[in-house]
Amino acid sequence: MSTPLPTIGWIGTGRMGSQLVHRLIDAGYDVTVYNRTAEKARPLVEKGATSVARPVDLADRDLVFTMVSAPKDLAEVTTGPNGLLTHPEHAPKYLADSSTVSIAASEVLRAAAAERGAELLATPVSGNPAVIAAGKLTVAASGPRSAFDAVEPVLQHFGRGVTYVGEGEVARLVKIAHNVFLGVVTQSLAEITVLAEKGGVSREAFLGFLNDSVMGSVFTRYKTPAFVNLDFTPTFTNVLLQKDFDLGLEAGHELSVPMPIASATRNIVAQEVGNGNVELDFATLLLTVARGAGLELRPEDVDVTDGLEAESAPAYLMEQVG
């Protein structure tokens, strides 16, 4: 006799959350969602999810995911008025938070969950809607090993891989380190791409060579269309990147780890934010380097791949990011 699937609650159905909920519904889970703007959850309701008006209405779920944008939002939906952990009788058995927040904020949530008999897993993810569509999202998880073992089958539906990285809040550090690297790599990629172009090499040719070399990666391939055709539709903004740099440098200070390259890149990103570049993709760092080099970039209007060929991605996901 098969074990019944856990009931799932989901708080925060933005671009990322909504697609992950779609995957869970397709996998057969009973999912109930809460989003501050209820209208944004309508497509999920049409897909088969149930929607509630308050986070506390998810307290009777076996497992609840939270995916919100800032520590204050996380506190609001969990311990604020009508928060998930404020029901007088019920609390989910497991809480999995996929927000990018500091270790300190995660510790506060873990203590609040423990007071209600809930176990917290920190489950930050690496990817964006296009990565989800390609089935290549990855997850780092930390917290009680027993809780991870119970929740891992659900996390496996998110994408390509799930890695248990240890107890407590260490998954937060893993995600922060990941995003610091994201920014440093993008700045470096922008610099060498401009160097090659100013020397007479097209961006398409240079990045094509790089992507086929040992230095190429999933990420350099993914950013190639933006660099070649100057399409800066946002996947991750400079504002969010600056926040993660600040979290990373704070962790570096606390752990006595010198991070001079990260610090220099953070200042470049902060200057972009200060100049008003707050809505476009952080790949606009390419334009900043080009201006400094006295080079005016133009779209090359070339059909180049982002390397995210779908791995059996559902049709509805491809439609959403097409």
Question: What is the pLDDT confidence band of residue 312, given thresholds at 50, 70 and 90?
Answer: very low
Which pLDDT belongs to residue 3? 77
Q: Given a cut of 60, is residue 265 above it in pLDDT?
A: yes
Q: Is residue 316 part of a domain?
A: no
Q: How much is the pTM? A: 0.87
Q: Could you write out the three-class secondary structure of 225-287? A: HHHHHCCCCCCCEHHHHHHHHHHHHHHHHHCCCCCHHHHHHHHHHHHHHHCCCCCCEHHHHHH
Q: What is the pLDDT of residues 149-208, one digit of tens each?
A: 999 999 999 999 999 999 999 999 999 999 999 999 999 999 999 999 999 999 999 999
Instruction: Please identify, among 168, 184, 213, the residue that sits at the C-terminal boundary of a domain.
Output: 168
Which pLDDT belongs to residue 128? 87
Domain that holds residue 207: 173-309
Q: Is residue 57 part of a domain?
A: yes
Question: What is the pLDDT confidence band of residue 319, given thresholds at 50, 70 and 90?
Answer: very low
Q: Other CB atoms closer than 10 Å to residue 65's CB: what's the count?
A: 30
Question: What is the pLDDT confidence band of residue 310, given thresholds at 50, 70 and 90?
Answer: low
Q: What is the pLDDT of residues 268-291, one digit of tens each?
A: 999 999 999 999 999 999 999 999
3-state secondary structure of 10: strand
Q: Given a cut of 60, is residue 318 above it in pLDDT?
A: no
* Whether residues 62 and 154 fall in one domain: yes
The enclosing domain of 141 has a CATH number of: 3.40.50.720
Instruction: Please identify, among 168, 198, 223, the residue that sits at the C-terminal boundary of a domain.
Output: 168
Q: Are 232 and 223 in contact (CB under 8 A)?
A: no
